[in-house]
Structure 1
Amino acid sequence: MATLDDYTDTPPASPTKTFIRRHSVVTRITHWINVLCLSLLLMSGLQIFNAHPSLYWGQYGADADPSWLSIGAVEEGDSTRGVLTVGSLQVNTTGILGVSGSGDDAAARGFPAWATVPSYQDLATGRRWHFFFAWLFVINGSIYALYGFVRGHFRRDLAPTAEEISPRHLRQEIADHARLRFPKGEKARHYNALQKLTYLIVIFVMLPLMLATGLTMSPGIDAGYPFLLDVFGGRQSARSIHFICAWSIVAFVIVHVAMVILSGLWNNMRSMITGRYAIETERGSK
């Protein structure tokens, strides 16, 4: 004979939040200093670029030399339009690049005023802003790197395992990210393989390359260390590589911010402000 218990469903175990310590004080402080530095480095860098908005390969570059990228203005009768040229490709960018504003307020400049520091055209001031925050960024990065090596942060948290960098595993993680399936439970305690590889490339490849090419553009540094010009194939090549790296880091930041928002904005922000990160675990599990 059936009893009441035969018709009673056992409710599933509800998940509970467990708070873990995800980011150290040093990591959090250096992260937010990096946000400030990178923002002002980009904006002051665009101010410097605007002084000559063209990029070349090799040692020399001037108006008469062929450029692989340029942002300029073209006169068409009584009007002026902005043009982005990449190789043989030309794109009309009026109002965004090349020409800012409209009508009597239109002005020919590579990047618009709102994107540069200072907003008005001033190469000398832009260089001062850029150099100040470049050295602050280097000092801050050195503190983070020293802390990471001493405390084993890079080895423990960022070094991927052989299984993690296998093609099969990476394909699965790419597919999961494309479907916005983010790690839960115990897996959320650690960086995934894509995060590890991306952070390692940015920290140990992109940023050092930015620093080295930035130094190569300095005539004073070249006088003391002329081999830098040979390493990068000339000052103009170094400037082009610097520009490409800068926008690669911008792309990384955009994707990074998007993932932060999609995977839980408040939880991620809290972990980078207070260090506490919430993961969901099944009730009763350890």
Structure 2
Amino acid sequence: MKLIAPRDGPVVRRQSVWTRATHWLWAIALFFLLLSGLQIFMARPDLYIGTQSGFAFDNSIFSIGAVVENGVLRGVTDLFGHRFDTTGWLGAVWQNGQLVPQSFPGWMVIPTYRDLASGRVVHFFFAWVLGATLLVWLISSLVNRHLVRDVLPRGRDLKALPRDVADHVRLRLHHGRSYNPLQKVSYFAVLFVALPLMILTGLTMSPGFNALAPWTLDLFGGRQTARTIHFVVMLSLVAFFVVHIAMVVLAGPFNELRSMITGRMRIDPEETQP
């Protein structure tokens, strides 16, 4: 089982300064977007499909709340009509040694206390950072051909994808000059599906943007559906981040971090490349 690059492999320049800079800006922006987004979500911790929502409707597909049963506060989470006890994690969380009715613990939100206005300011600022960084990455990657050369999946990548997935499952990790098929497909999905979808659904929740581009409401089936899609994409990005970090650790964190800090990476000997 090979988890790190061989010592006798050559060190090559793998990442450009533009790729490295945008990578770390994305990491910072997504961190603050996640925690400030959860702060905003606490103002109405429910998700709906369709155009209507509110206290007059009982059509939520996901809801976080708190109930008092026999004088005891409990956190509850409803998902598609099924209720789960999430006391201490969601709905009713520990604060100063006692349970309080709050959707998320303080460490999961920015600010750490209930403050919708500040959460919105932080969220919108880093949303602009995310959008601008994505644009900078796209332009630079077109100019230096990083997009075509390293990210855009080709026919041979899709053909080799099942084998590459099997190698990752068996922890047979390769270190090449370019991304492997699974990396290409994953990065393409994040950069050209998840992030644009996150930005567009976020804009669709804005009444001002609806006035400018009302077609987005029809595209996503209403503001509430857009909000639900926004939340689901966020969860997908969190899952991607967890897997991404796990792969970095298993592939050799020093080598992988060096690649994203200095741009240089030790790869497998040429004769062992697939």
In 1, the alpha carbon distance for the partners of 2:180 and 2:199 equals 28
- Partner residue of 2:98? 105
- Partner residue of 1:215? 203
In 2, the alpha carbon distance for the partners of 1:282 and 1:58 equals 54
Deviations 1:68-96 (A, max 9, x none): 00011111122111111101211111001
Letter in 2 for 1:246: M
After TM superposition, the structure 1 = structure 2 runs for residues 1-286 of structure 1, keeping only pairs within 5 Å, are 16-65=8-57, 66-101=59-94, 105-166=98-159, 169-184=160-175, 188-281=176-269
Deviations 1:175-213 (A, max 9, x none): 1111100115xxx11111111011111101111111110
Q: What are structure 1's unaligned runs of at least 5 residues?
A: 1-13
Deviation at 1:38, TM superposition (A): 0.3
Letter in 2 for 1:177: H
Deviation at 1:103, TM superposition (A): 8.7
After superposing on structure 2, the runs of 4+ consecutive aligned residues of structure 1 that deviate more than 3 Å are none
In 1, the alpha carbon distance for the partners of 2:120 and 2:137 equals 25
Counting matched residue pairs gives: 265
Deviation at 1:102, TM superposition (A): 6.6
Structure having the higher Rg: 1
In 2, the alpha carbon distance for the partners of 1:216 and 1:245 equals 14
Deviation at 1:122, TM superposition (A): 1.0
Deviations 1:101-126 (A, max 9, x none): 17962111112111000011111110
SS in 1 for 2:209: helix
Moved more, 99-108 or 83-92: 99-108
In 2, the alpha carbon distance for the partners of 1:50 and 1:196 equals 35
Letter in 1 for 2:173: F
SS in 2 for 1:165: helix
Letter in 2 for 1:47: Q
Letter in 2 for 1:235: R
In the alignment, is the contact (CA less than 8 A) between 1:164 and 1:193 conserved in 2? yes
- Partner residue of 2:3? none
In 2, the alpha carbon distance for the partners of 1:273 and 1:174 equals 27
Percent of matched pairs sharing the same residue: 47
Change in Cα spacing, 1:147 to 1:282, as seen in structure 2 (3 Å) is: closer
In 2, the alpha carbon distance for the partners of 1:225 and 1:171 equals 40
In 1, the alpha carbon distance for the partners of 2:190 and 2:211 equals 29
Change in Cα spacing, 1:193 to 1:280, as seen in structure 2 (3 Å) is: closer
Deviation at 1:160, TM superposition (A): 2.4
Moved more, 119-128 or 99-108: 99-108
Change in Cα spacing, 1:19 to 1:85, as seen in structure 2 (3 Å) is: same
Moved more, 272-281 or 235-244: 272-281
Change in Cα spacing, 1:126 to 1:102, as seen in structure 2 (3 Å) is: closer
- Partner residue of 1:8? none
Change in Cα spacing, 1:192 to 1:280, as seen in structure 2 (3 Å) is: closer
- TM-score normalized with structure 1 length: 0.89
In the alignment, is the contact (CA less than 8 A) between 2:174 and 2:268 conserved in 1? no
